[in-house]
Structure 1
Amino acid sequence: MTAEPDSRTGVDDAVSAEPAATAAPSPAPDTAVRWPAVIAFVLLACGLAWAVALPLWLGEGLRSPFAGLVLPAMMLTPAAAALVVVFAFRVPARGRARFLGLWPLRPAGRFVLFLALALVVPVLVVVATALLAGALGLVRLDLVGFSGYAAQLAASVPAGSALPPVALLVALQFVALPMGAVVNSVLALGEELGWRGWLQTALLPLGTWPALLLTGVVWGLWHAPVILLGYNFARPDVVGVLLMVGGCVAWGVLFGWLRLRSASLWPAVLAHGSLNAVGGIVFVLVAAGTTPDLGLVGPLGVASWAVLAVVVGVIVLIRQFRPGALAAPRTPAVTPTEGEPR
C-alpha cells in the first residue's frame, strides 16, 4: 500500500525548486505486485531452507552434530533469495537500499524510538504469555523460588556445587537480554532482509494487511524443514507446522508494523533478535517438575497469539496503522543526466 508522504513518514519526497517543465520526474512506487519475482523468491527461500536442512534429515535430525551449523545457516536463506530476485528480476530496479529498509536511518528520533520498542516489546509479550498461561492453568509457574530453573541449574553442575542465589541468576538473565538481542540480531538480519525487507515490501500493492498476513504465512511455512523434525514444539507433524504458521503470522504483524511505521528494516531485525533471546524465558519461570507445552505457552504458542492480538489491537486503536502513519517505501527520483537541470 502506498501512503501519501508527509513529515511523519520520514521518506524524502524529491521536490525540486525548478519549474515542473524542467524538473526531473519522481516515479511512483509499484502499483501492482510483481508476481514472477514473488513466486521466485518464495520457491528459492523455501528450497534453500530444505537444501540446508537436508543433512539433518539424512542424519540424526536435531540431535545431529551439524544442527548447530545448519540452523543458523538456514536463517540466511531468505536474505540469499532476496538478493537473487533483486538482481535477477530487478525488483526494485533502483533505490534498493530504501526498498529493503536498510537506508536512510532518519528521522533519528523516530528511528531510536522504534529500536527501543523493538527491544522491549517482545520481552513483555513473552513474559505476558507465560503469565497468561499460568493464570489459565496451562502451566505451573514459580515466580518466587524459581524452582524449575533451580532444578535445571542443579542438574547442570556436579552434585554439591555451590550456586549463587537463584533469584540473582534470574535477574541476570533479564539484564543480559539486551546484549542477547543484539547478538541474535546478526542472524535475524538474514531472515528479516527476506521477509520484512523484500517480500512484505513487494506485496504492499495488495494493501497493508494482506502484505503483513501473507508474509507471515510464508515465514511460517519456511520453517517446515525443522518443524517436521520436532523443532520448537516437539510436534513433528502438520500440527507443528500450523502452530508455526500461526505464531509467525501473529509476530509478523508486529514486526511488519515496526518495519512500516519506522520506514526502516532495523527495528524489525532487533525485534526478531529480542524474541530469539527471550524465547526460553518460560523455562526460567516454571515450577519444578513442570514440562511446558510450547505449542500452548511458548513464545510462538497459542497463548502468545492472544497476547499479540491485544498488542496489535492497541496499535490499531491508537491509529498507528492509518495510511498517514505508515511510511511506504519509495524509489528515489531519477537522477538527471549531464546537461539537465538539477
Structure 2
Amino acid sequence: MVDMTTTSSPAPAAAVRLPSRRDGNLPAWAPRFLTVFGAVMLALVLALCAPALAGADSGYLGVLTPAVMWAPAVVVLALHFAFGRPVQLLRWAGLRGASPGRIAGTTAALLGLMIAIPAAVIAASSALGFVEFAPGADARGLAVWVLPLAAATMLLTFGEEFAWRGYLASTLAAWGFWRSTAAIGAFWALWHVPLTAAYALDGVSSWREVLATTVNLFLASFVLAGVRWLSRSVWPAVAGHAMLNTVLVFAYSNLMSETSALPDGAYWGHQGLSWAVWGAAVVVVWAPVARRTRAAAR
C-alpha cells in the first residue's frame, strides 16, 4: 500500500506516540485545524437534523444517518489536504505502524469487555428490580448474527473512528490520554445531540434518553480511546464502535424489559448502574494503558 503524504520525504513507519500524561504542546497547526473541523461537523449535523428539529417527520434520518457516519472522515481528509498538514496521513490516523498481533489481541479483549458490560448492567439492574431479565423469543436465533453484523457495521464506523480515535487522537496526543479523550469524547457526544433531540421532538424517544445517550457516548469514548492507546491502531476502536451498535443494542433490546416504559426512579437507577459499569470498564482499560505507556517512555 502506498502512503499518502503532504511532504516529499517519507516518515518512519512507526505508530504515532500516544503518551498517557501531558507531554509537550499540540502541533502549531492543530488549533486552527480543530476549530474548522468542529465548525464544519456541527454545521453538517445541524443541517441534517434541521427539518426534524423544525417539526418534520424524523423518518428520513434513519436513511441518511449511515452516510453521515462517514462525514468525519471526509471532513478530516478534506482539511488535511486543504491545509497541507505536515503529517503522514495513514500513520497519523492510526492505520499504519502497529503490530497486527497487538491489533488482534486488543480487539479480542475488547469483544470480551463489550459482552461483559451489558451482562453486568442487566444482572445488577434486574437484581435491584429496576428492569426484568426477559430474553425475547427470538433472542437465541438473533444472537448468531450479532458478530457478523458487527463486522459489517465496521464499514460505517470506520468513517467516524478514522477521525475521532484516529486523526484527532494523534492531533491531541500531547495532551495525554485523559484530557485528549475527554475533549474528543465531549465533542463526539455533542455531535449526536441534534440527532437524538430530533427523535425526542418527534416522539420516537424521550428527553431523558437524550441525556442518557449523551452520557453513555462520553463514557464509551474512554474505552474506545483506550484500545487505540493500547494497540497504537484505530482498528480496535472501529471494531469497538461497531460492537456498541450491535452487541450492546442486541443485549439491551432482547435480554431485558424495555426501559422506555420505566418510571423515572427505575429508569435513572438503571442508567446509574450502567454508568458505574462503564466507569469500571474505563479503569480496566486504563490500567494496561498506563503500564504500556510508562514502559514505552523508559
TM-score w.r.t. the length of structure 2 is 0.79
- Trace 1:117-156 onto structure 2 (pairs within 5 A): 117-142=109-134, 146=135, 149=136
Aligned residue for 2:45? 49
User: Structure 2: where are the runs of 5+ without partners?
Assistant: 1-12, 16-22
Shift, 1:100, TM fit: 0.4
Shift, 1:130, TM fit: 1.9
Aligned residue for 1:24? none
- Trace 1:264-283 onto structure 2 (pairs within 5 A): 264-278=233-247, 279-283=249-253
State the Cα deviation string for residues 89-119 of structure 1 (Å, max 9, x = none): 334x231101101123x42221111121233
SS of structure 2 residue aligned to 1:197: helix
Distance 1:77 1:297, change over 3 A: farther
Aligned residue for 1:243? 212
Higher Rg of the two aligned structures = 1
Aligned residue for 2:84? 90
2:195 maps to which of 226, 234, 242: 226
Task: Check conservation: 1:133, 1:303, Cα contact below 8 A.
Answer: yes
1:255 maps to which of 202, 224, 234: 224
1:112 aligns with 2:104: yes
1:37 aligns with 2:33: yes
SS of structure 2 residue aligned to 1:229: helix
Looking at structure 1, the residues matched to 100 and 167 of structure 2 have their Cα atoms a distance apart, in angstroms, of: 23
TM-score w.r.t. the length of structure 1 is 0.70
Looking at structure 1, the residues matched to 259 and 212 of structure 2 have their Cα atoms a distance apart, in angstroms, of: 25
Aligned residue for 1:284? 254
Shift, 1:291, TM fit: 3.6
% identical equivalent positions: 25
SS of structure 2 residue aligned to 1:137: coil
Distance 1:94 1:224, change over 3 A: same
Equivalent residue letter for 1:67: L
Structure with greater helix share of residues:
2
1:75 aligns with 2:64: no
State the Cα deviation string for residues 233-282 of structure 1 (Å, max 9, x = none): 9234xx55543332122100000011111011110000100110121422
Distance 1:100 1:116, change over 3 A: same
Looking at structure 2, the residues matched to 31 and 228 of structure 1 have their Cα atoms a distance apart, in angstroms, of: 36
Distance 1:77 1:292, change over 3 A: farther
- Structure 1 residues 203-212 or 307-316, which shifts more? 307-316
State the Cα deviation string for residues 60-88 of structure 1 (Å, max 9, x = none): 333x2x23322212212211221122122
Looking at structure 1, the residues matched to 268 and 82 of structure 2 have their Cα atoms a distance apart, in angstroms, of: 41
Shift, 1:58, TM fit: 5.0
Aligned residue for 2:18? none
Matched length: 272
Looking at structure 2, the residues matched to 210 and 89 of structure 1 have their Cα atoms a distance apart, in angstroms, of: 25
SS of structure 1 residue aligned to 2:214: helix
Looking at structure 1, the residues matched to 100 and 294 of structure 2 have their Cα atoms a distance apart, in angstroms, of: 16
